Copies of this chain bind each other. A is one copy, B any other.
Amino acid sequence: MISFMNDYSEGAHPKILELLLASNLEQNKGYGEDVHCDRAREYIRQHIKKENVDIHFIPGGTQTNLLAVSAFLRPHQCVIAADTGHVNVHETGAIEATGHKVVTMPSLDGKLTPELIQKVLDSHDGEHMVQPKLVYISNTTELGTVYTRKELEEIRRVCQENKLLLFLDGARLASALTCKANDLSMEEIARLVDVFYIGGTKNGALLGEALVICKEELKEDFRFLMKQRGAMPAKGFVVGIQFEALFVPGELLYYELAKHANHMAEQIGDAIASCGFDFYAPAVSNQLFPILPDVLIAELEKSFSFSLQAKAGNGKSAVRFVTSWATTQEQVDGLVQFFRLYSKAH
């Protein structure tokens, strides 16, 4: 059984493991104040050409999201998100558990727009309702789509005009920034948003997300909040090492891994499109959501594992295939071959 279930099935890229082993017996300071975390911070600052950012290494994505919201908002303020947003759907109410409402707008492609944000603002007025304060977007989105520079600039504009914070969940930022539909750089993102994170877990790290706080006012006392939420590992250097390996200047393994994942997905996407199947959302990154006949899905499940996204009616369903840094050409060939055979037979 070959798994296209997600991009966190395997451990870490060998170069990360190498660094982990090489440094294993060093005596490092605890809690993220070690040389590896510092070096990783330096690499990232160089890469985004921005010195005045705070960078924190956090074990997981849900932690990072709940920390950002609870650290930056006052109790009566809420998050604006697409209804498909990870914070809304797949975190067991982690945001609400910190006391904040997530106000959502329906989105077909997983993206927020200035118009959707404005609708939330227009429908919230006065002290009997929560106060919209932080815009949550993800890139890639939960549907594998990406924001263009123009789209992000327009969202930034509506945020600035309305004193909203802009937070970008980059759990799959590497895939976004290396896909063909992308015209953004991490440097530009760091300029356009107030805070974002660089996802490690879903791009070759054992664990870890790097939260980058760009806005000065958001920096104060953030480490207190990390500790309080249990997001400041004693062996913080283990997380730092992941990003140190991923962001070595010149190499930038971070993007190499995502390029590979995207390239693998592209071949699968092309094979599916050749069969004439539609997609639930544009197929541009390492997550693909083809709409397939249920009978075909049953056939696929004999050799491949993947997840069901939604019933589409008419005996069809949208499924999700995910590729990763660890997906092999051989694994992809198996899936592509399956669709080629189907194509010929129909």
Contacts and interface: CB of A to CB of B under 8 A. Distances in A.
Contact of A11 (B20, B60, B61): B20
B25 A21 contact: no
A37 to B, nearest CB: 14
Interface in A207-244: 207, 221, 223-235, 237-238
Contact of A99 (B63, B96, B202): B96
Interface residues of A, number: 75
Contacts of A78: 93, 96
A90 B234 contact: no
A127 interface: yes
Given A127-B223, A128-B227, A223-B127, A11 B23 contact: yes
A82 interface: no
A22 to B, nearest CB: 10
A155 B261 CA distance: 48
Contacts of A120: none
A3 to B, nearest CB: 4
A21 B13 CA distance: 10
Interface in A39-94: 59-66, 70-71, 74-76, 78, 89-94
7 contacts: A5-B27, A59-B59, A71-B74, A75-B93, A75-B228, A91-B228, A207-B233
Closest 7 CB pairs of A and B: A63-B230, A76-B224, A11-B24, A62-B230, A92-B228, A8-B234, A93-B101
Interface of A: 2-3, 5-6, 8-12, 14, 17, 20-21, 23-31, 59-66, 70-71, 74-76, 78, 89-94, 96-102, 127-131, 201-202, 206-207, 221, 223-235, 237-238, 326
